[in-house]
Amino acid sequence: MKKIIFATHNQGKLKEMKSILKGLPVEVLSATEAGIIEEIEETGTTCQENSLIKSRYVAKKTGEWAIADDTGLCIDALGGKPGVYSARWTDGAPHADFTLEKMKGIENRNSYFLSIASLVKPNGEEHVFEGKINGTITTEKRGVDRPKLPYDLIFQPEGYNETFAEMSDDQKNSLSHRGKAFQQMRQFIEAELKLLTAKN
């Protein structure tokens, strides 16, 4: 295994992924860099289904190890919305602004992020990893807007005074939902690489 294809065109996610897997002897490429320019239709009704749809597609298309994630922001006062539809909730309106408008006047601002990361090998073997973090929705946007990670501006993780967008990349990755899921994946990949080295 010399490279892993991350089933995303999202440069913000790709940057996080490369940071989390930094130091491993594998090259991390985006779907775009691997020659997949089409959007993979996410037809699942859960984050796990959507994550596996993407990683299965890329593994089959490239013949390489493929990884994907799907993340949902679940807000208690909105009945768990936007959840699995977080990336497609606003019909083009800015996600953070749209969410703050929905939350106007609401006292219960409890929420959580859930990330499901999946890894599919060329032989079809599948592995799934889960990360979750509780927090609250702020009353205003705070921090630096990361590319295509709009909810970072309004999500304040439990036990912290900063939003994700006010944290450094390393700090966010050390505690975030996606960071937790992909740290589990990193440990799995490290173990797999040791096995491959031992066999060779």
Q: Which of 69, 70, 152, 169 is catalytic?
A: 70
- What is the mean predicted confidence (pLDDT) over 123-148? 94
Q: Residue 179's pLDDT band (boundaries 50, 70, 90)?
A: confident
Encode pLDDT of 38-69 as tens digits. Answer: 989 989 999 999 999 999 999 999 999 999 99
Q: Render 123-155 in DSSP notation, one character per residue.
A: T--EEEEEEEEEEEE-SS--S---TT-GGGGTE
Q: Which residue range(s) make up the domain with 181? A: 3-199
Distance of alpha carbon 147 from alpha carbon 85, whole angstroms: 18
The question of whether 70 is a catalytic residue gets the answer yes
Total structural domains in the chain? Answer: 1
Q: What is the CATH number of the domain that holds 82?
A: 3.90.950.10
pTM of the model: 0.86
Whole-number percent of the chain with pLDDT over 90: 70
Q: What is the pLDDT of residues 65-107, one digit of tens each?
A: 999 999 999 999 999 999 999 988 887 789 999 999 999 999 9
